[in-house]
A and B are shown apart, each in its own frame.
Chain A
């Protein structure tokens, strides 16, 4: 009964408990509140004991959920009571009722300060506790010196000092300036020598907050933290009372390891060794035991140790140990451990390149996606999202879609957002992306935000190849009996824009499309009707001119909505009606929407923007941000996670519609290898090239196996290229990075197309996209990091030949994990020359430097502009250029035997326009082009090739232009393309990875070029 010190309070609590219902309770509480109010008013009559009792009652009432604002003042005033019992109530109740933003607290600052600096230890404790729990900025500014003094004082009991440590932590969180970094580092280190575990535990929390902001200043604390860990985990050198189920203070162990995670590395080898010994012991020595509490405590320590090992990026064996442990955890039945296994695997993805190990557990993770516990499902979803890349995107997204139908509402929104993002980021082809989004809308329309369907419309609008496919797809969905309104929106929009592309298919005439969309109108809300009206207007434009019936139907609808109460609908109806009477002009006004500007996916932005609110920045995030900040400056606001810009998304494969286009890039590559250059792809190569580009991270590119080098019939140009790839003299081959695909093949392909992959290895993909205008070119290099860890020391140096002026924008030093950065490169052609520019590219992955020199496809023919010329223009020019050096004639032998048609195609692909009919001899070819350089300006070039049907390996070639150098260079250029020079089969050239310390070889451009050419 001693505990029930206050009888009145107990009686009141009993009364409230005995109330039958909420109403009675309210009446009882109101009565009490009235009583308290009156008693407080006549303050004179109140004894300190009574005051204390009423304030406690108030707290109880407050806990029941009632408003007790009127009593704040009373509670605060008790703080200045002279005796402990009242003071205690004042402090405790104030810290429950008020928060740091209450003005009343200011009134107490002076009293609080006096208690802190006073000699009464009990008062010090009360004051420190309240400030530690609800102190705000003002407290921080006026009290922190006093609190620091208490923490460091040798005369204070540990009881006071541990409270001071946490009180200071609170003040520091409110205002970091209150702790002077310089002065505190040493004191902090001293505090870590503390023997009392209560003070040490509190100080460790303080240290975590300090190092999370300024780890550099607290280096001296690092070895001490390791000592503490050793003391706890190895020597178990602590008082018995700090053992928790036999484990030496698991909380202090966890905090200490948390603090260590904020230091980037442990440099001192001895400290490092000691730390790893402890970590190894924890990793190996933690067994599953029966006692739940012991098990939890030991695993709390284990998981923190895992996090620390991941952070320190230990020797490979330790990391694989971690991965193995996590693999075990995600398969156990104990839900907490499984949850933590999944969570830590996700964290592991962020710090190291363990994608492959984790992928092995994909099936297990997917099982957890179906766990009855939403917490586990969420972790599984996060992990699947994090581990998704091009290789498993299809599987994972399909799992998510499947799960979507059965998922509970709490998760559907997140699921559909994540599925949409993954589909966008890793689409192997755009049609798949469209399929995924449409399925998403179909299965979970309510949870698909507008952003998602806007995005699919952007993609379709910007990718012509995709339009008929997407239109056909949405048309299919419209046949379903009940579809979600979002599906109505997206299908109406797409069919309005692109429905006419389907016109010849059954069920897709403008009339049929109109009626199936119009069927949905009665079911949709007012926000969708304007979209439908636009669709009708577009259908009206595409209808057969004689289809008056359809026209009247649509006009009738416009008429109907002319008086609609919704302004947007009304305006559209009126305007479309008026516009549709304009006849021909309609075609311009209602033309297809222009392409959307490339922009960051708002979805991905949304996903990135979700900030988590934590007291200390997470160590992992902190590092990620530091790495990213570098790249973002120069990457033209590109998202750090490597989202491809709109126009670059993947290769468009249209499964059902256009079979002959389905040349995979591998097939294409090999067909080119075989010299079948004359096949002019019906589909300009740009589509697949962009696929590759885009693929930067999502690479499906043909691996070396699909290339048949021995069959290669190569040209002179290629020969040169080959040498270009024989990179740096091999000195110590510690570790070599194999390029994926054939570098010279890639270069050659890029010589006659404007975008594609220039280089690829397991870590990076370099794509290129070029635009040429007269003597100028704009190239963009796409540097895509394929890994989950950053590429560092990235360097690109351009070594231009003398005839090109080139300017490369800044290349970021770091490419964040899975990010793609763009580096624009400006080119200006000064005069004709066949020399090519070289880019000296290097980066560091782990401890290895990779260096590669690549020829850039800024070659002679890029400065050609095809021109078709008539006989009247040709002959005078031909005659006026009468002989060397302006006109050169040469008999070329050893030509690769090509049918005439293929030769024409070959020339065409180099932008030399074949002019048929100018030469009466059908075995001869005449071609023309305009060459641009700063020196020559636009200059007409004329070419005549006389072939011998009896011997296809020789021909006579005449080249003419107004510039001797140009004539010479062009002659040689064409020869290179036509002549076959037998060369040794390609051997994939290993790129040499050098130890970082060795200087990058061949930095002198002159020496380099000499070696190349």
Chain B
């Protein structure tokens, strides 16, 4: 199960944070700080997995952005690693050529997309097409 998802840039600014386990605010700040420190200095030739407390973080870097998923120690690493990539593909499709600024100014959209993609810390929908269509429906409602 995904414990939390973080999108952070190299400076450690959080662009999106979604927690599927109950954490207090102070704990969230600590987690964000630690995860950033954990992944930012890793060599590109290293694995995409790194232990974090009693869990593990599966992360992937796209340009200056780190996408990190914290999952259970027994979870399938590669499946979650590709789950990150699928998410990025969806964002890329939605924003047509996504960049960090898109995510900054449209953070609320990113939360919406994420809610169609992952729920309760589990994958909900793996069809890019289905999610993009759903987003279209929602836009019409606003």
Contacts and interface: CB of A to CB of B under 8 A. Distances in A.
Q: Majority SS of interface residues in chain B?
A: mixed
A167 B73 CA distance: 23
Contacts of B134: 159
B23 A241 contact: no
B105 A133 contact: no
A195 to B, nearest CB: 13
B93 interface: no
Interface residues of A, number: 80
Interface of B: 1, 13-20, 22-25, 29, 42-43, 45-51, 54-55, 72-79, 81-83, 85-86, 95, 104-109, 111-112, 115, 119-130, 134, 138-139, 141-142
Contacts of A101: 22
B127 A242 contact: yes
A167 B20 CA distance: 12
**Which 10 A-B pairs rank lowest in CB-CB distance, beginning with the nearest?**
A615-B1, A300-B78, A99-B22, A614-B72, A170-B120, A205-B122, A373-B46, A300-B79, A166-B119, A132-B120
Given A244-B126, A304-B76, A335-B45, A4 B83 contact: no
Contact of A376 (B47, B119, B126, B142): B47
28 contacts: A4-B105, A56-B108, A59-B107, A59-B108, A63-B14, A64-B13, A85-B142, A96-B18, A96-B111, A170-B121, A251-B79, A251-B83, A255-B123, A258-B76, A293-B82, A293-B85, A297-B82, A304-B76, A336-B49, A339-B49, A340-B78, A373-B42, A373-B47, A375-B51, A376-B46, A376-B47, A614-B72, A615-B1
A612 B55 CA distance: 8
B119 A17 contact: no
B49 A133 contact: no
Interface in A145-168: 159, 162-163, 166-167
Contacts of B119: 128-129, 132-133, 163, 166-167, 202
Nearest to A128: B119
A612 B73 CA distance: 8
A10 B104 CA distance: 9
Contacts of B95: 3
A56 B106 CA distance: 10
Given A122-B141, A166-B122, 9 more contacts: A84-B142, A169-B122, A198-B125, A201-B123, A251-B126, A297-B82, A304-B76, A335-B46, A375-B51
Contacts of B51: 375, 378
Interface string A68-99: 00000000000000001100110010001001
A348 B1 CA distance: 22
A756 interface: no
Contacts of A304: 76, 79
B128 to A, nearest CB: 7
A860 to B, nearest CB: 57
A163 B131 CA distance: 13
Given A10-B105, A167-B119, A242-B127, A374 B50 contact: yes
A88 to B, nearest CB: 8
A300 B108 contact: no
Contacts of A85: 141-142
A362 interface: no
A75 to B, nearest CB: 13
A990 to B, nearest CB: 42
B54 to A, nearest CB: 5
Nearest to A134: B22
Contacts of A45: none
Nearest to B80: A300
Contacts of A340: 77-78
B108 A92 contact: yes
Nearest to A91: B115
Contacts of A375: 46-47, 49-51
A583 interface: no
Contact of A60 (B20, B107, B112): B107
Interface in A577-628: 610-616, 618
Contacts of A2: 139
B101 to A, nearest CB: 9
A67 interface: yes
Contacts of A159: 134
B77 A254 contact: no
A445 to B, nearest CB: 25
B126 A249 contact: yes
A170 B122 CA distance: 10
Given A201-B123, A244-B126, A336-B47, A100 B72 contact: no
Highest count of chain A CB atoms <10 Å: which of B79, B104, B105, B112 = B79
A255 B75 CA distance: 10
Nearest to A295: B78
Given A96-B111, A163-B124, A616 B1 contact: yes
Contacts of A170: 120-121
B78 A169 contact: no
Contacts of B42: 373
B86 A618 contact: no
B78 A297 contact: yes
Given A92-B115, A169-B120, A205-B123, A336 B81 contact: yes
